[in-house]
Structure 1
Amino acid sequence: MTARTATRSRAVPAAAEDDDRLPPARFAFGSTTWKEVAHLLLNLLEGILGFLYVSLWLYAGALLSVTVVGLPLLAAGLMGARVLGRAERWRARVLLGVRIDEPSPLPRHRAGGFLGRMWMTLKDPVAWRSTLYAFIRLPWGVLTFGIALASLFVAWPVLGHIARGLTNVDRAMVRGLLAPSGELERRIAELEENRGVVVDTAAADLRRIERDLHDGAQARLVALAMGLGLAKERLLEDPEVGARMVDEAHGEVKLALQELRDLARGIHPAILTDRGLGPALTSVAGRCTVPVNVAVDLGSRPAPAIEGIAYFTVSELLQNISKHSRARTAEVELWRAEDRLLIRVSDDGQGGASTARGSGLAGLAERLGSVDGLFVVDSPAGGPTVVTAELPWRSRTDGHKDGRTDERTDGRP
């Protein structure tokens, strides 16, 4: 009895030693490792779907490129590639912990209509990188799926190290092909959109000048020439009537000159060129139908192009106040903050101003955006209205100075 007991007691430690030599449980991995394994196993399905999609639309688009549907098909395929890239960024974020900013969307409004937007899509670097990503993922998906699946059965003790090494390659692919290429790409997209805005604005300004010349000064000068011709004939027959016709022609000349001055002021007023924003805006405020307080504190003058944009922005805002605001007073403030020119135009009118597309304020917002500016409207129903604009400074090189102007006009022309 004693000997049997001793034998049993000696066998227990041996069994315990055998248990200690057993490997850890197969599923004793952290959540991060299992997410990485899941990502590797999904690579095969993602690789097949992405490769089939890219191959089909590229093949069809190339075959149909000689027809009218070829290029639109390629553009539609690139838009789909953007969607695939977005899905892969989401998968990498959930399973691999890779957080990547979304690339800039394509601009919604583009000069040239459908053709302009299609051409922009065909040149989209984000879509082409997503296409390349989907194209090269099939062989990598087959490889990683096979290794991950085999490791679950024959190499699971080192499965965590294998999964980490393979998914590090996945992380590098996602960062290299699906991440936005920094601020440069964003700025290029903005400039592409703004270029169309600038072209449209310039064309509209030219049409306005042509219309003003044709309907205004040109028509008046034609009538003046005809009147002087008649007056020349009547001077010999009836000097008194001829003299009266010459007086009328003289009045027409004055009106034509005034219209030409107004037109020139609308293109670029001489007072702005000669004296700067302070006096120029004070002159504009004097034509407003409500009293306007103008405060300009700049110290020096910005670039001529920026001066012009600031001048016409304030001019149009004051015109809106005169026509629509029912305000009793208004205020214009300009000042410099580091390398930015800040503008604030406010009134105590009825409010309700909006930058909804098609309005004059929307046009101002687009024009300022084309030079990297900002335009914000705060106009609740019942007022007051506060419009804030911001422009880059871009200093002048001529050394002209523009001191502080702080004047109040009574609204009389």
Structure 2
Amino acid sequence: MQSYLTTIVAALAAAAIALFLVEVVHRATRRLGRRSLLMTELTDHTHRSFQVAATVVAVQFAVRFSTGYAVGTQWRRVVLHMLVLAVIAAAAWLVASLLVAAEDVALARFRVDVPNNRHARRVRTQVVMLRRLTIAVIVILTVGVMLMTFPSVRGVGAGVLTSAGVVGVVAALAAQSLLGNVFAGLQLAFSDAVRLDDVVVVEGEWGRIEELTLSYVVVQIWDDRRLILPTSYFTSKPFQNWTRTEAAVLGTAEFDVDWSVNVQAMREELRRLAESSDLWDGRVCVLQVTDATGGLVKVRALVSAADAGSLWDLRCLVREHLVGWVRDHRPTALPRMRAEVGDSSGALPWQSVQPRRPVRRLTDTDVPDDARVFGGSDDGTARSEAFIGPDDTPTPTHPTPTPR
């Protein structure tokens, strides 16, 4: 009993001394590194882990040197083994804290809250992916080292290594999808195909990359929904990245109007609207007639904005303004359907009129050259030879009888 009490007192004294020394080092480091970002991050991130690691190491040394090998051998062995496991876990926590602090210092140099943040978002994506990977590796190695402290596990280690090939194949087949997503996540992080805060269009949804992990990607859709996709989706299927090179994008607004529309006046109205709006970035403002079939004319307004959100609002503003402008200032250009009522003997220009005297029909030799696609001109002859061939002659349907 006296040996047990001595061990407990020694452990408590060692823990108190360790905590005191850690607190002194923490305060001194915080005061000396007040102007250093690295020292500030180290003191903030590693304080708790350093406390735990120092306390566990001190308690282990106290238990080891305060008990004899002959007194309480089994009890001493169990306690020391548990303390060894605690030291391994605390050391892994301390290493992970140091890596996180170094990564935070690296991220602080690249700001993402500025307009031109493409390079910063790329570095942030890569650092975040490396952080997740390093923490996962540290956890796996820590668990492996803790298991190797058990004699039974060390004995099985040789047999496991001999069958590592078969086990590796089985594990690869079983975790094919998981490993595929992990490698896809690393590929996305370092290929610069997609980054955090990139504006993308996937599965018909428009949003931005909110989170990028080794196994899945979270897309925040414009209406605050979340679309969660495996990382292998972005390496195996096409998707739109609106901020791949820069945030500025183009957008269109289309209108179906009557043939009587004044396109130039509509173009000038679009220019006045764009110049008066703070959503337009001053790059592109174009209005063109893209189609003229049937009874309507399709007019397309092409505008540009600094980012996808501004472009959406600008497109809606252009569509709303030009619809009102056509309605109020050009009512004759509103879409309409024309119908001809009456017979065909009217005198209006678009009504067909019966000829007063017969007109001589043109023969084949009188057909003008501009009415033929294949032939009639040098270009038509060349086109005819290209489609038919100069040596191709039609084969008669029935054989010609031979005279006897």
TM bracket (short chain): under 0.3
- Whichever structure has more helix as a proportion of its residues is 1
| TM-score between both structures, scaled by the size of structure 1 | 0.25
The structure showing larger relative contact order (alpha-carbon pairs under 8 Å, at least 6 residues apart) is: 1
> More strand per residue: 1 or 2?
2
TM-score by structure 2 length?
A: 0.25
Could you say which structure has the larger radius of gyration? Answer: 2
